[in-house]
Amino acid sequence: MTRARLGRFGAGLVLALGLPVSPGRSEQTRLATSAPSELLRGEAQGIAVSSRGRLFLAPRITPIGKAFPGAFPSQVFAAGADAAGNIFLGTGPDGQIVKITPGGDQNVFFRVNEPLVTSVLPLPGGELLAAAAPGGKIYRVRPDGTGRVWCETDERYVWALAAGPDGSILAATGDRGRLLEIDRNGNPRVLFHGDETHLVSLAVSRDGGVWAGGSGRGLVYRIDAEGHGLVVYDDELPEAKSIAVTPKGELIVTFDAPPISEKRPPALRLRVAGGTAGASEAMSDLDSRQTPALQGVIEGLPSIADDEALPLRGKIVRITADGGVTELWRSRSEAAFAVALDDRDRPVFATGEPAKLWRVEGPGEIALLATLDEAQATAFASTARALVAATSNPVATYRLESEPAGSGTFLAPPADAGGVARWGTLSWQSLGSGGRVELFTRTGNCEDPDGTWSAWSPAQVEAQGSPVTNPEGRFCQWRARLTSTAGGGPRIASVTASYQTCNRAPSIRDLRIEPGTAAVSAKATFRWSVADPDGDNVAVTIQARLAGTVAWKSAAVAEPPVAKPSDPGLGNDGSSKDGKAVWDTATWDEGVYEILAAATDQPSNPPMEGLGADSELPTPVFVDRTPPTIEAKRKGDAVEVVVNDALSTVARLEVVAGGRVLFSPRCGDGVCDSTQETFRFLVTQPAPSDALTLRATDVAGNAAETPVPAP
């Protein structure tokens, strides 16, 4: 009846005047602003994105190293730099030490007899110590690339090496959780025995303080020269992977947890009948018989990775000299593998997957500096010129310069208006100087930009706002280009685009009458749920007509207003709101009425541009002010009663004495659901029959009374 009535009338009027027609447009102007978490999903080239939504030029990050013949390792377990600027990588699975010169040439500097090189420590004079696993041997390698075993630690693993305060070498080991002190001749002694299976990280401060991180319980120890250990921090994650000490004596510690082994349970495992020769040793954890098996997952089952209750995977904390702890970063999907300090003593840490480099900008702010092509960023080495990051799977190295990149670009995720929209003004907050900021926009109607999207707009340079010149579209995407001319370059934040959507009709559903009956004698209360995809204010009226007639009449108006304009901002979900209206039937004729709830968003739109919608199929309501009739007959102690109602169904029959209900007889068919019902009961009370009254009530609440007939 009322669906889209206003919209059709408005369009007809414009056509009659011979003017161009455009769709009705929601009057409310909204703002599309990407949250910081959404910006982290953008594509950055030379641009850093902070957890507060700031964009600025990242440090210049350049790949280093030139390929050399032969098999290249896949993982980097440790990295170090000597005084000349050479980088040494401890790698696996072929036990290689890769040397990268300042000019970028790389070669296999030394090869140990074990599969893994777990730690490297360049020494003054050009020599290098390298720990190998398994077996816990430490090799001493001369500048010419020749070397030998220098220390037999009698441990299975040596995870970290550090130069001690008195010229000794410290080694964090496993799987007995020991910290070794090794003299100049390679003779080890146990300095400290931790409460964990492995000690995996080491740091030595300028004042000679020694810290070690464990794996198993996530403990961080401070160890003095006599080997006394004090736990300075106990984390919920099991492994203190890497430690850096600031000049103020603060610790920056990365923690991680093993990845969940199976993200989509339950697993499907098929045994291979009879087995095969040469089954892999890795199968032994599946079955003690080492029976070969095919494993997989059942497609279509939900993934644990989709659950917000995923366990914590990585964390970074700051521990002050007085024991205060501040959490800097955490993630349920990424592990933190290494941390180091840049030239301004800001913590830089490395994660995966994929490999990412982050920097702590200040209290409560972390910046994503770069997303690399490799799977994990696993180690850092500090040189006089820059910080070098090494990756795994595959192995690569990158230099993080002190100065920011000269320019960079950032592509934001598309903003969704929820419907075709006219985009108004693009503006942003400018936070720095020393360069130029340019923003570009494009629009389209599919979520993933493709060939149907508009071309990029000309550069916009006015932070206070410039018109979006692209055509209408549901989605709008912006791209920023920052160029530095001095200092750290420009910084921007809070990029915002205003828009108005083409008006969309509201929806109304779940029309219901209270208290749940479809018959009324006086006032009827109606409730419903209404929603508007544009967040418009919606007016609702209850309309009624006698069954079999055509004309509708307004019966009631919603009170209070059903929907209120939503706060401006992208992401208006058009959530449902409950409404209520009361229909006073006192001036309406009795009869069966059809009821509709009609909604319109006209209050939030220009004249004649509002759209309407009706509720579902009309709801029948009986307006009934006439009480039922009672016919009663007495046969001895038995009373037979027939109750009739002209419009609504009979609700109940009661036997009353002295104003008190004695009982309610059951109707003949067991359910009161008709306009005529028959009742039969026995009069066994000692009271005289003329003191008993029959009271019949219909579902509209009308009641009639008559005495119980005498015997």
CA 188 from chain center: how many Å? 50
Yes or no: say if 225 and 192 are a contact pair by the CB < 8 Å rule: no
Same domain, 96 and 163: yes
Residues 6 or more apart whose CB falls under 8 angstroms from that of 529 comprise 508, 509, 510, 576, 577, 578, 579
Boundary residue ending a domain (600, 623, 646): 623
Instruction: Work out the pLDDT band at 289, boundaries 50, 70, 90.
Output: very low
Same domain, 205 and 326: yes
Show the CA angle centred on residue 650, arms to residues 645 and 654, nearest 5°.
Answer: 115
Counting residues of the chain whose pLDDT is more than 70, the rounded percentage is: 85
The answer to whether residue 161 sits within a structural domain is: yes
- Tell me what pLDDT residue 207 has: 80
Number of structural domains (the chain) is 4
Q: What is the mean pLDDT of residues 650-676?
A: 93
Q: What is the mean pLDDT of residues 334-347?
A: 94
CB atoms within 10 A of CB 672: 19
Instruction: Work out the pLDDT band at 687, boundaries 50, 70, 90.
Output: low
Domain of residue 176 covers: 59-261+310-404
DSSP state of 534: T
Same domain, 237 and 181: yes
Same domain, 562 and 585: yes
Which residue is associated with the tokens 């598309």? 414
> Could you tell me which of 61, 102, 54, 55 has the C-alpha nearest to residue 406?
61
The answer to whether residue 165 sits within a structural domain is: yes
Cα 398 from Cα 404, distance rounded (Å): 14
Same domain, 494 and 521: no
Which amino acid does the sequence have at 432?
G
The answer to whether residue 301 sits within a structural domain is: no
Same domain, 467 and 543: no
Give the domain CATH number at 580: 2.70.50.60
Same domain, 116 and 225: yes
> Could you tell me which of 48, 35, 28, 43 has the C-alpha nearest to residue 496?
35
Same domain, 452 and 397: no
Same domain, 96 and 189: yes
The answer to whether residue 659 sits within a structural domain is: yes
Return the higher-pLDDT residue of 278 and 117: 117
Yes or no: say if 380 and 341 are a contact pair by the CB < 8 Å rule: no
Boundary residue ending a domain (603, 623, 643): 623
The answer to whether residue 321 sits within a structural domain is: yes
Using CA atoms, how far residue 406 sits from 375, 383, 430, 436, 551, in Å, is 27, 22, 18, 11, 73
Same domain, 497 and 508: no
The answer to whether residue 359 sits within a structural domain is: yes
What pLDDT digit, counting tens, does each position of 592-637 carry? Answer: 999 999 999 998 888 888 999 999 888 899 999 999 999 999 988 8
Give the domain CATH number at 43: 2.60.120
Same domain, 518 and 608: yes
Cα 269 from Cα 264, distance rounded (Å): 13
Q: What is the mean pLDDT of residues 649-660?
A: 93
Residues 6 or more apart whose CB falls under 8 angstroms from that of 563 comprise 506, 530, 531, 532, 535, 536, 537, 538, 577
Alpha carbons within 13 A on the beta-carbon side of 37? 1
The answer to whether residue 425 sits within a structural domain is: yes
Mean pLDDT, the chain, rounded, equals 85
Which residue is associated with the tokens 């009709």? 505
Boundary residue ending a domain (453, 486, 501): 501
The answer to whether residue 656 sits within a structural domain is: yes
Same domain, 40 and 189: no
- Tell me what pLDDT residue 24 has: 52
- Tell me what pLDDT residue 280 has: 36
Greatest pairwise CA separation for the chain in angstroms:
128
